[in-house]
Amino acid sequence: MALAQPSLEPTSAVRVRRHSRFRAMLRNRQLVIGGIIVAVVLLVAIFANLISPYDPNTPAYSDILKGPSASHWFGTDQLGRDELARIFIGARTSMTVSIGALIVGLIIGVPLGLVSGFYRGFWDDWIIMRIIDAMQAFPFLILALVMAAMLGPGERNAMIAIGIGYVPVFVRIVRGQVLGELEKEFVSAARMVGASDARIMWRHILPNITTPLIVQMTIAMASGIIAEASLSYLGLGVSPPTASWGTMLHDAQGYLGQATYLAVIPGVAIGIAVLGFNLFGDGLQQWLDPRKHN
């Protein structure tokens, strides 16, 4: 009599499942292309000082408004500063502000969403969600502009202003996920063994809702890049002479006929960075969806 084939050992099953998910990741073009763009932008931001060919803030009056050349690949601006060096430092500025704003949004939005969804009732219906509704009456960028105008210009204030703009979407995402998790058996089991509300929220529910949060974080980074550039363009972001893609666009508007590249290059940089994070977020959402791997 033929012997039954032994089943896969747990470790082998896990290895096969991981290999399958890795192959699914490589087949996801949005995830791969977006991940490459995001990695390049982050690496440029981290090593900006090392790879910059010139000092981005030092004027060179003998090189004013020189077009792209072998010595200045992206040309120079109205003060003779190298555009490539300023694009690199602008990437650092954009990533610093966007990541800082993301942290602010998470610190405020996640606890509020957890409390709102977990306790519901008066705090949910009449306090937290009414404040969120009032904030969402303003588009994200308008809300960030209002907060920046109240706080004043500066990198730290830009982080806070954009981060507050993130709060409503994080509150709603977390709240919606918590409402779904409360119906599951593990929450009832945790209550039966005497787990506190705080432990249930932070140790049991939060780890189970990280997937939509991670996806939203990548999409929020794209919004943060646009918001930072907009604030800097209006003089409410980082202060000169610190390079920012937004301030570069602002400085270029007086030279559109004479040096069009001054506006085109930072505009393209913003577009590529935003495209990368959006592609990465969409691809990540598809890859993390368990229905895609069944």
Cα separation, 2 vs 105, whole angstroms: 61
Cα separation, 176 vs 113, whole angstroms: 8
Rounded to two decimals, the pTM is 0.87
Q: Does residue 187 sit within a domain?
A: yes
How high is the pLDDT of residue 8? 46
What mean pLDDT is predicted for residues 25-51?
A: 91
Q: Does residue 14 sit within a domain?
A: no
Q: Does residue 19 sit within a domain?
A: no
Identify the band that residue 225 occupies on the pLDDT scale cut at 50, 70 and 90. very high
| 65 and 251 Cβ atoms separated by less than 8 Å | no
Identify the band that residue 85 occupies on the pLDDT scale cut at 50, 70 and 90. very high
| 47 and 234 Cβ atoms separated by less than 8 Å | no
Q: What token pair was written down for 30?
A: 């949005």
Cα separation, 217 vs 201, whole angstroms: 20
Judged against a pLDDT cut of 80, whether residue 285 lies above it is answered with yes
Judged against a pLDDT cut of 90, whether residue 35 lies above it is answered with yes
Judged against a pLDDT cut of 50, whether residue 4 lies above it is answered with no
Q: Does residue 13 sit within a domain?
A: no
Q: Does residue 270 sit within a domain?
A: yes
How high is the pLDDT of residue 10? 56
Contacts of 284 (CB under 8 A, 6+ apart): 31, 214, 215, 218
Q: Does residue 35 sit within a domain?
A: no
Helix (H) / strand (E) element for 36: namely helix 29-46
Domain that holds residue 221: 44-58+71-293
What mean pLDDT is predicted for residues 145-149?
A: 91
How high is the pLDDT of residue 74? 92
Judged against a pLDDT cut of 80, whether residue 25 lies above it is answered with no
Q: Does residue 8 sit within a domain?
A: no
Domain count, the chain: 1
Q: What is the CATH number of the domain that holds 218?
A: 1.10.3720.10
How high is the pLDDT of residue 195? 86
* Percent share of the chain, pLDDT over 70: 90
Task: Give the chain's mean pLDDT.
Answer: 87
